[in-house]
Amino acid sequence: MRALGVLISGRGSNLQALITASEAPDYPARIALVIANRADAGGLQLAAAAGLPTLVIRHQDHADRASFDAALDAALRSAGVDLVCLAGFMRLLTPGFVAAWRDRLINIHPSLLPSFKGTDGPAQAVAAGVRIAGCTVHMVRAEMDAGPILVQAAVPVRPDDTEATLAARILTAEHIALPRAVALVASGRITIAGEQVHYHDAEAAAAASVFLA
Summarize pLDDT for 106-149 with one digit per residue, the tens.
999 999 999 999 889 999 999 999 999 999 999 999 999 999 99
Low-confidence ranges of the chain (pLDDT < 70): none
- By annotation, the residues acting in catalysis are 109
Alpha helices, DSSP H only, in 53-190? Answer: 65-78, 95-100, 121-128, 163-186
**Which residues lie closer than 8 Å to 107 by C-beta, 6 or more apart?**
85, 86, 89, 137, 138, 139, 140, 145, 147
Architecture of domain 1-101 in CATH? 3-Layer(aba) Sandwich (3.40)
d(CA 50, CA 73): 23
CATH 3.40.50.170 fits 108-213, yes or no: yes
Q: What is the pLDDT of residue 116?
A: 96
**Which residues lie closer than 8 Å to 179 by C-beta, 6 or more apart?**
17, 18, 20, 21, 22, 27
Q: What is the pLDDT of residue 112?
A: 98
- Domain positions in the chain are 1-101, 108-213
In angstroms and rounded to an integer, the radius of gyration of the C-alpha atoms of the chain is 16
Asked if the domains 1-101 and 108-213 are classified in one and the same CATH topology, the answer is yes
